[in-house]
Amino acid sequence: GNSVTQMEGPVTLSEEAFLTINCTYTATGYPSLFWYVQYPGEGLQLLLKATKADDKGSNKGFEATYRKETTSFHLEKGSVQVSDSAVYFCALSDQRGGADGLTFGKGTHLIIQP
């Protein structure tokens, strides 16, 4: 079956530091890949996505590149802010377009200190 593995948290950084959150996946075929963000007490918001190999998703300064050769989709940001503190989820949908729902990683709690 499909699975997503992401780095354990919490990840604590100082403001303006460089961020990397690792994500690797196992899936058959060619899944689409996503990063979602969850702020305290809220639902999930789509941060970015990539639907085929070598695609780069980007939004709000965050980027992630779909690497089929390493089955990875690492999230990066060049300079984090306190407002980026949240839980980040890597997810995939299967080659049927995710009709059966998404497969999520366990989430990485990011804490940015001023």
Partner 1 sequence: DGGITQSPKYLFRKEGQNVTLSCEQNLNHDAMYWYRQDPGQGLRLIYYSQIVNDFQKGDIAEGYSVSREKKESFPLTVTSAQKNPTAFYLCASSPAGIVETQYFGPGTRLLVL
Q: Are 76 and 20 in contact (CB under 8 A)?
A: yes
The separation between CA 8 and the C-alpha centre of its own chain, rounded to angstroms, equals 13
Question: Which residues 76-95 are close enough to bind partner 1 by CB under 8 A?
Answer: 89, 93
Binding-site string for partner 1 from residue 43 to residue 82, where x marks contact by CB under 8 A and - marks none: xxxx--x-x-------------------------------
Nearer to partner 1, 17 or 46 (CB): 46
Q: Where are the strands (E) in 39-107, listed by range?
A: 44-50, 56-59, 62-65, 75-77, 86-93, 103-104
Longest dimension (CA), the chain: 43
Kindly indicate which of the ranges 13-21, 65-73, 75-83, 104-112 contains the residues binding partner 1, using the contact rule CB under 8 A: 104-112
Is 106 one of the binding residues for partner 1 (CB under 8 A)?
A: yes
Least gap, CB of 44 to partner 1 (angstroms): 4
